[in-house]
């Protein structure tokens, strides 16, 4: 029973793991591109989490039907899908902006390594 329970909630476990992997990549890797990738992995983890809490097994898509046998059934929460969409927009713009700064830094310094940038600076 426990294994079934865990299997049904695998998405929660996966989202937290993605979050931690992303965070770890962001904070420990010296390469700027890898940091941005870590940021994206972390955000994907959060989005998976958000979508998971709005979904339960056997729920319907949140569209109101004129007639049909669905009376009394539960709908998936559409609010979280909207939130995830907004979150994705923010994540995309952050990524685009971060990559554009990285390009400029690479043009000026010729390196993507944080430690070397730090040395160039001082």
User: Which residue ranges make up the site for other proteins (CB under 8 A)?
Assistant: 19, 22-23, 26-27, 32, 35-36, 39, 42-43, 46, 49-50, 53, 80, 83, 86-87, 90, 93-94, 97-98, 101-102, 104-105, 108-109, 117, 120-121
Name which of 32 and 68 has its Cβ closer to other proteins: 32
| Shortest Å, Cβ 8 to other proteins | 16
Rg for the chain (alpha carbons), in Å?
20
- Can you tell me which residue has the tokens 């983890």? 45
What is the smallest separation between the CB atom of 75 and other proteins, expressed in angstroms?
A: 14
Is the Cβ of residue 65 or residue 104 nearer to other proteins in the bound state? Answer: 104
Evaluate whether 76 touches 60 at the Cβ level (below 8 Å).
yes
DSSP string for 88-116: HHHHHHHHHHHHHHHHHHHHHHS--BHHH
For tokens 């319907």, name the residue: 60
């Amino acid at each position: 029973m426990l294994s079934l329970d865990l299997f049904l909630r695998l998405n929660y476990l996966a989202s937290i793991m993605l979050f931690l992997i992303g965070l770890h990549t962001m904070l420990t890797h010296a390469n700027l591109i890898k940091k941005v990738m870590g940021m994206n992995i972390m955000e994907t983890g959060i989005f998976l989490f958000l979508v998971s809490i709005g979904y339960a097994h056997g729920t319907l898509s949140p569209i109101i039907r004129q007639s049909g046998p669905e009376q009394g059934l539960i709908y998936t929460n559409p609010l979280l899908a909207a939130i995830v969409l907004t979150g994705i927009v923010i994540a995309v713009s952050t990524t685009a902006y971060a990559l554009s700064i990285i390009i400029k830094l690479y043009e000026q310094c010729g390196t993507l390594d944080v430690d070397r940038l730090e040395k160039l600076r001082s």
